Amino acid sequence: MTIALPARAKLNLDLEVVRRRPDGYHDIRTTVQAIELHDLLLIARADETALTLSGLSVRNNDNSVLKAHAAVEHAAGRKLPAAFHLHKRIPPGSGMGGASSDAAAALRGMRAIFQLDLDLEELAADVGSDVPFFLHSGGAARLEGRGERITPLAAGTTWFALAWPGIELSTKDVYKAWDQVHGDGLRPAAEHLEPRLGEFARRLGPGWRMTGSGSAFFKLADTEQEAKAAVAGLDCWKAVSRAAA
């Protein structure tokens, strides 16, 4: 049996970095909306664990799918060999949560194909700060702490124009930069780390916001046509998506 799971992207509609914690992580407050743009993860039982990739290029080493698989094996206390195929549509290092969403899909898929009785919420928090939100594969929420404190919100119906400059940013590195520059949200830190991001934002013009730790930007639109018009003249990776319930 092979199962296929969507791993949806997310947008941070707002984001406040509260403080750097003693453990090196950061407390945040953010409103997050899942969108219909998604990666696709196929999972099947196998003789040995392997991961293949297609779509957008992504580094295979330390992939979040394999990290999630290892966490499930550890929790189950036995080997659970699985074949994964990940088709990437969410740009890597863009702040749209692709890696965390992929990990959450792997957790859900592993529990299903091996019929495991595991608390995925606890596992998800260990795999990554954003992973608990993606376990539910849709909707909107207010996230606090490292992102593990989740308050569900009513999902929006908004359309979004999306633009990515092809620059991969490490979330860890952007937060380290925030420790130096602080600022409102993470955009000043991201631009400090990667000055080309500021020039990209200026080319986009007014109304665009950076999501997460960057480097993708989004613009709200009332209709699909309005979102398409917003990306029509852009010379970069671009897409139109809408809120996912």
176 is catalytic: no
Q: Which residues pair with 242 in a beta bridge?
A: 159
Is the bond into 215 cis (omega within 30 degrees of 0)?
A: yes
Please state, in angstroms and rounded to a whole number, the distance separating the CA atoms of residues 39 and 88: 5
Q: Catalytic one among 10, 39, 88, 219? A: 10
Q: Catalytic one among 39, 88, 130, 219? A: 130
Q: Is the separation of the CB atoms in 216 and 162 below 8 Å? A: yes
130 is catalytic: yes
Q: Is the separation of the CB atoms in 90 and 98 below 8 Å? A: yes
Per-residue b or e along 139-175, where b marks 16 or more CB atoms closer than 10 Å to that residue's CB: bbbebbbbbbebeeeeebebbbbbbbbebbbebeebb
Residues identified as active-site: 10, 130
